[in-house]
């Protein structure tokens, strides 16, 4: 299906490009979101007549997004979540969670659709997440997922908190084994004395 793009679409094209896409992508995403028009002769004439207006509107939205980008750029947010000792979360971090926390931290209204997650966040750690404020304005932020604010500070310094938790667990196991062996040795000594 051939379409005329009304705005820049990542990995597809820019304003005014005539692109060929699969019908489902066109029907379910590009056309309902008004990112494109069908490439008919009538729509081509309409687009050429409105091209200056469409580009001017896009320029205004891009400038507004660039202003917001200065407030968002390089931000680091902390999300406190419950997790097991191995670092796996009980659940996952969604784009909505990131959008709400970033909106509070930066004072800029961020929609969950503007948060671009390459893969779901299902474990503790530091993640780089892209925020698409406009198709042409994309900033990156750091998301620190931790069990507590203390762990978040350690992770920010580069400490792997899951390895430390494993070391702490291993130490008591060794001490317990030694303590259990000591009473058995003492019983053996008492039997030898009798």
Residue 104: which CATH number? Answer: 3.10.430.100
Q: Are 49 and 84 in contact (CB under 8 A)?
A: no
Looking at the fold, whether 34 and 107 belong to one and the same domain comes out as no
Show which of 33, 61, 89 is a domain's final residue: 61
pLDDT of 164? 59
In this structure, the answer to whether residues 165 and 87 fall within a common structural domain is: yes
Same domain, 94 and 163: yes
Average pLDDT on 127-132 reads 94
Domain that holds residue 83: 76-169
pLDDT tens for 18-50 read 999 999 999 999 999 999 999 999 999 999 999
Residues 6+ apart with CB under 8 A from 171: none
Where does residue 193 rank: exposed (0-12), middle (13-18), buried (19+ CB within 10 A)? exposed
Instruction: Give the mean model confidence (pLDDT) for residues 142-156.
Output: 91
My answer on whether 12 and 54 are in the same domain is yes
pLDDT of 194 higher than 50: no
Q: Does residue 182 fall inside a structural domain?
A: no
**47-88 per-position pLDDT tens digit:** 999 999 999 999 999 999 999 999 998 899 999 999 998 989
């Amino acid at each position: 299906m051939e379409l005329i793009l009304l705005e820049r679409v990542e990995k597809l094209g820019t304003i005014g490009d005539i692109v060929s896409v699969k019908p489902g992508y066109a029907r379910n995403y590009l056309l309902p979101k008004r990112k494109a028009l069908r490439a008919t002769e009538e729509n081509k004439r309409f687009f050429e007549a409105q091209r200056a207006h469409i580009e001017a509107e896009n320029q205004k939205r891009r400038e507004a997004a660039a202003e917001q980008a200065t407030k968002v750029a390089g931000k680091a947010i902390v999300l406190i979540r419950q997790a097991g000792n191995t670092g796996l979360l009980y659940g996952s971090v969604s784009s909505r969670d990131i959008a709400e926390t970033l909106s509070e931290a930066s004072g800029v209204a961020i929609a969950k659709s503007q948060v671009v997650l390459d893969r779901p966040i299902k474990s503790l750690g530091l993640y780089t997440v892209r925020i698409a404020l406009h198709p042409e304005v994309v900033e990156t932020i750091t998301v620190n997922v931790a069990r507590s604010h203390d762990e978040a500070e350690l992770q920010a310094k580069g400490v792997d908190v899951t390895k430390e938790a494993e070391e702490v667990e291993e130490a008591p196991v060794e001490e317990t084994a030694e303590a259990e062996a000591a009473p058995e040795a003492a019983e053996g000594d008492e039997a030898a004395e009798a």
